[in-house]
Amino acid sequence: MGALKRGLNPRFSELGLAICGGRGRQSVRTPDELREFCGRTGLDGNELARTSRLTARVDNNAIADGFQLYLHSFVIHKSGEWAVVQQGMNPASRLARRYHWHSTSVRDFVSDPHTAIVGTPQGRILNLVDARADQAQRALLKIAGEPVETALQEARKLVLPRHHDVRAGDVDLKRLGAVLAVAHEKELRDFASLLLVEGLGPRTLQSLALIADVVHGAPSRFDDPARFSFAHGGKDGHPFPVPQKTYDESLGVLRRALDEARLGQTEKIEGFRRLDHLTRAVEGQRQPLADFSAAIAHEWSISASLDGRTVFDDAHPAKKKAGSSQLLLFSD
């Protein structure tokens, strides 16, 4: 682009074409060069300068692909037709990516505006100018229009507690109590197992009920994410070691449900939805409260039988934790 700029710009009167900008510091001069060009052609220099800044901001900020622009070249014809060629560098991989724009192809600067983006695929990225990102754009505009303190209050809600272990205060005990009731009370367990068309044990059913809540739950269901650690524990032993047998059984049920769904047999997939509805009904009608300490003590007491594992004791079954093994889970 630098060579083209040096070769073509002196022949402007013959070709009606100019190249503005370039690498590094030259890119900063693009708006001034465009205004100078427009002084000779009668075009709107301020509008073209705005276009230059907008294309740079889109590629540098709205496309979160890890590439920072270092080259911005603006090709302009006396007719007003323009093209932009930009290139970014990823400092970590030392790879470059190029972004192409052409005025005849741009219908909307924030909805699929590019003619091409050239580079090695990087997997999934955040692209806020993808045509499918309109909801994200509206959400950002809404946040930008709100008072700063409102946005800060929402951000504070995302701050995690300073402690690493799972505590009763981190969990909605009514929701957890409903899951444990469905999994461990015989009448409810038999019915829940029937919904999934499986002869499931209580521990696997407990995990699957929490999985169903993740799959079918509304955002409001996730305000106590620590509850979901009661599905398969934690590799660090919080709130209890990962029960490998239960983990494998849960994966097996999900895999069979998906395999059958591909063949048009959706009964098991629908069973997860019905299991979620049952758990919520128990939560709303009976409102059982989990005994948090007893629930964790029970998990530790059965950990060895479920081949419990942590990263600290990968070669041996997890040891039983001192305390009662009796399952005292509910109080009305």
Backbone angles phi, psi at 284, to 5 degrees: -80, -35
How far is CA 104 from each of CA 80, 83, 115, rounded to the nearest angstrom?
10, 9, 10
The answer to pTM > 0.75 is no
| CB atoms inside a 10 Å sphere around CB 88 | 22
In 3D space, the residue among 204, 178, 207 whose CA is nearest the CA of residue 277 turns out to be 178
Give the pLDDT score at 231.
94
pLDDT at site 324: 34
pLDDT given at position 158: 59
- CB contact at 8 A, 280 and 272: no
Identify the pLDDT of residue 320: 42
CB contact at 8 A, 226 and 206: no
The C-alpha atoms of residue 177 and residue 172 are separated, in whole angstroms, by 9
Angle at 179 between CA 174 and CA 180, to 5 degrees: 95
Query: pLDDT value at position 218?
Result: 76
Integer Cα distance of 131 and 208 in angstroms: 36
Say which DSSP state 165 is in: S
Residue 23 near residue 2 (C-beta atoms within 8 A): yes
Q: What local confidence, expressed as pLDDT, does residue 159 receive?
A: 63
Distance (Å) of CA 69 to CA 23, 61, 97, 111, 118: 9, 10, 9, 20, 14
Contact 232, 243 (CB under 8 A): yes
pLDDT tens string, the chain, 332 residues long: the values are 999 999 999 999 999 999 999 999 999 999 999 999 999 999 999 999 999 999 999 999 999 888 999 999 999 999 999 999 999 999 888 899 999 999 999 999 989 999 999 998 877 788 899 988 888 888 877 777 777 677 667 666 656 677 778 888 888 899 999 999 999 998 888 888 888 877 788 999 999 999 999 888 877 788 888 899 999 999 989 999 999 999 999 999 999 888 888 888 888 888 888 898 899 899 988 888 999 999 999 999 999 999 999 988 755 544 444 333 334 344 33
Residues 316 and 208: their CA atoms lie apart, in Å, by 26
Contact 229, 167 (CB under 8 A): no
Tokens 């470059």 sit at which residue?
96
* Helix boundaries (H) for the chain: 2-8, 12-15, 25-28, 30-41, 45-57, 134-145, 148-156, 173-184, 186-195, 202-216, 229-232, 244-262, 267-285, 292-301
